[in-house]
Structure 1
Amino acid sequence: MGFQISIDADGPRFSAEPGETVLDAALRQGIALPHGCRDGRCGSCAVTLAAGEIDYPGGTPPALAGLGAEQCLTCRAVPRSDLHLDLPARPRPEEPQQVRTLPCRVERIERLAPEVMGLSLKLPDHDPLRFRAGQYLDVLLRDGSRRAFSFASAPALSPYLELHIRRVPGGRFTTEVFERLGERALLRVQAPLGDFGLDPTSTAPAILIGGGTGFAPLKSMIEDAIARGQQRPLLLYRGARTRADLYLPDLAPRWAAEHPWFGHQAVLSEPEPDWDGRRGLVHQAVIEDFPDLAGHQVYISGPPAMIEHARPALLARGLDPAALFTDAFVDTSHGN
C-alpha cells in the first residue's frame, strides 16, 4: 500500500509505492518537480515538508546542511506516511511553454577546449523553439536514452542552438561528439526543459557561479540580459582547472567592457605557474569577496560536488535559501 503526496494548496497529487522516493514517484506519473543531481548533493530538489514523515534510507543527504529542519530533499526522501509538500516560491514563466520533440542539424562543431566541444544546432526554419535562458534540452538517442545539455545561446538566436559538451571518459554519446559527429549530422532533441534562469521579478544584484561547462547556461542568461537591455548588476565567477579549460576566454572581458552593470572573475584550481589571476575553488572566491550575501541572489551551475560544497558556505554568509538557484551537471559517465 502506497502513500498519497500533495503539492502546495492547489498543486498536483500523486502516490508513492513502498520504498519509492518522492521524486521518482512524481516523475513516474508525469509530474515535474525541480531536481538536479538526484543524489542528495546539490539541493535543487529541496521542498518544505508541511505534513507527514519521511526516511532517508541511505543516510542524511549532504545538501541538507544549512537548510532548515522543515526542509526535505525529494530525490532521497522516502515517505513513511501521506505527505504534504510546499514548493519554494519561484517566479512563474512569462508565458506558457510547450515541451516538444524536434529534429535538428549540426550546423557547426568546434573544439573550445581540450575536453569541451561546441555544437551549433539548426532547427527547422518553420518551427522555432521558445525557451528561457538557463533551460536545457535532451538529445534523444536511438536506443531511447537521453543526454541533457544546457542552452549556451540566448533565445533571441533561435533557430540556432549552442551547446557546450564536455567529454566524459568512456561516454557513448560524448565519444560520438568528439570522434565521429560531423556537420550536417541529424539529431532529435526534446526541449525546453528545466526551470533554472534569472528571476525576472528581482532587481537584486546577482552572482553567477559556473564550474566547467556550467558556464553554458550562465552565458545564455548573460547574453539574454544584454539582448533585453537590462541594467541589473550581474557578477560572473568562472571556475576551471587550468587556463586551457577556461574556454571562450574573451567573452566575459568583452561583456564587461561594453556593459557597466556586468563584472567577472576567473578562478583556476590548478593554475599554470604564470597565472596571475584568482586561485582556488570558485565558490571560495565568492565568499572571500562577499562576507555578507544578504540582499543578493546567487545562481550556481556545474558539477554536483561543487554545488554541495558551495551551498552551506554561501548560506553561512547570510544568503537567503530562497535566493539560491542551482543547476547540477550530473556526470553520467556510465552511459553518456
Structure 2
Amino acid sequence: MAYTITVQPSGRSYEAAPDETLLTAGIRQGIGLPYGCKDGACGSCKCKKLSGTVVMGPHQDKALSATEAADGYVLTCCGTATSDVVLESRQVTHAGAFPIKKMPARVAQLQRLSHDVMHVRLQLPANDVIQYHAGQYIEFVLRDGARRSYSMANAPHTLVESGVPMVDLHIRHMPGGQFTDHVFSAMKDKEILRIEGPYGSFYLRDDSPKPIILLASGTGFAPIKSIIEHMQFMGITRDATLYWGGRRPQDLYMDDWIKARTAEMPHLRYVPVVSDALPEDNWSGRTGFVHRAVLQDFADLSGHQVYACGAPIVVDAARADYVQQAGLPEEEFYADAFTTEADKAHAA
C-alpha cells in the first residue's frame, strides 16, 4: 500500500511506500523537495505537515526540536507516512530535477590545495554524462555501503571542457575518517570509485533579481565556486558578495582564484574573513565570525537572497541571525550544511 503525499502550495503529489521516507520517495519521483544531509542532522528538509500522520525516525534536536514537532513540523529525510499526507514546502519545483545516476568514477588528478584540503578530479563515463545544478553534490558509495557526500566545485558547463566528463571536489581531511584518511594517504590516480548523484537543493535561483550574499566556511566554498562559475558563464549580473571564512589565511585555499573572478565580474565583491590569525600570518583583513561580518555590512537583508554553505554551526547561526536581526525572509535563505559522520551519528 502506498500513501499519497501532496505538497503545497505547488499542488504536486507523489506516492510514498510505508517503508520509505517522504524524502526518498520524493527524490525517486523527481519532486524537488529541499534537503541536505538526508540523515536527520541538518534540518534543511524541515517542512510543515498540514494534515496526515508521519512517524519520525532518529534525528538531532537541533534539526527538529520538540517544540517544532509539536507545532506540526517534520523532517522528510527521516519521516515516514502512515496515511495520506499534505506538506507545505516552498522549494518544490516543476523543472530542474535531474535524474539520479549511479556510475563508476576514475581518479584523474589529486592536488593539495592546502595542508588539509585535497582537490580530487574525477573522470566520469562519457556515455552517460551526469547532469547537475551548480551547488549540488554527489555521494561516494563505499564498499561497506557507507556513503560520503561532496559538492561539485565546478559548474556544469565545465563538465566536458577537456573532452571527457570531469567533476572537481574539495575534500577536507578529517583525521580518523574512514574515507578522508584514504584520500590523503593511499588514494592513487586511476583508482575506481562508485558515485551517485546529483543530490541537494542548494543551487542558485535564477528567477530572482535580488542581490546575493554568498556565505562560505572552509570547504563550503566548493559549491559556491560552482555557483560563481555558473553566474559568469550565464552572464548573470545580479550584485553578489562572497564572504569566505577560515581560521587562518591559508584556509582560504583559492583566494587568488576569487580575486581573479572579481576582476572579471564587476558585480562580484569578495570579503575574506579570518577568525584565528596568528602574528606570523600578518593578516590585515577582516576578523571574527564570518557570518557576523555580513551583518556588519548589511544591517538590512530584507531585499536579499542568502546562499550559505559550510559547517553547521555557521549555517545555523547565520540563518537565525539574518532572519531575526536583519529581516531576511526565511524563504530566501538557502543552505547546505556540511555534516560529518560524527554529526550524523548523533542523530542515530
TM-score normalised by L of structure 2:
0.83
Name the CA shift for 1:253/1:187 in 2 (closer, same or farther; >3 Å): same
Contact (CA 8 Å) 1:49, 1:85: kept in 2 or not?
Answer: yes
Deviation per CA, 1:11-57, whole angstroms, max 9, x where unpaired?
1243657xxxxx84543795674322457664311212223577989
Aligned equivalent of 1:34: 34
Structure 1 residue 51 and structure 2 residue 51: aligned?
yes
Deviation per CA, 1:70-112, whole angstroms, max 9, x where unpaired?
6544457688986421211455444x52211222221110111
Letter of the aligned partner of 1:155 in structure 2? P
Deviation per CA, 1:141-184, whole angstroms, max 9, x where unpaired?
22222211100011112111100001112111111100011112
Q: Choose which of 303, 313, 319 in structure 1 pairs with 2:328.
A: 319
* Mapping of residues 69-108 of structure 1, within 5 Å: 71-74=73-76, 83-94=85-96, 97-108=98-109
Aligned equivalent of 1:149: 150
Cα distance between partner residues in 2 of 1:27 and 1:90: 14
Q: Choose which of 141, 148, 168 in structure 1 pairs with 2:174.
A: 168
What is the Cα-based RMSD across aligned positions, in Å?
A: 3.2
Q: Choose which of 301, 309, 313 in structure 1 pairs with 2:317.
A: 309
**Structure 2: 5+ residue stretches without partners:** 160-164
Cα distance between partner residues in 2 of 1:271 and 1:279: 8
TM-score normalised by L of structure 1:
0.86
Cα distance between partner residues in 1 of 2:166 and 2:308: 25
Q: Choose which of 287, 293, 304 in structure 2 pairs with 1:296.
A: 304
Letter of the aligned partner of 1:34 in structure 2? P
Q: Tell me the secondary structure at the aligned position of residue 62 of structure 1.
A: coil
Aligned equivalent of 2:288: 280
Q: Tell me the secondary structure at the aligned position of residue 341 of structure 2.
A: coil
Cα distance between partner residues in 1 of 2:301 and 2:80: 33
* Count, aligned residues: 329
Cα distance between partner residues in 1 of 2:262 and 2:34: 32
Contact (CA 8 Å) 2:36, 2:337: kept in 1 or not?
Answer: yes
Aligned equivalent of 1:20: none
Q: Choose which of 224, 228, 237 in structure 2 pairs with 1:222.
A: 228
**Aligned-pair CA distance for 1:61:** 3.6
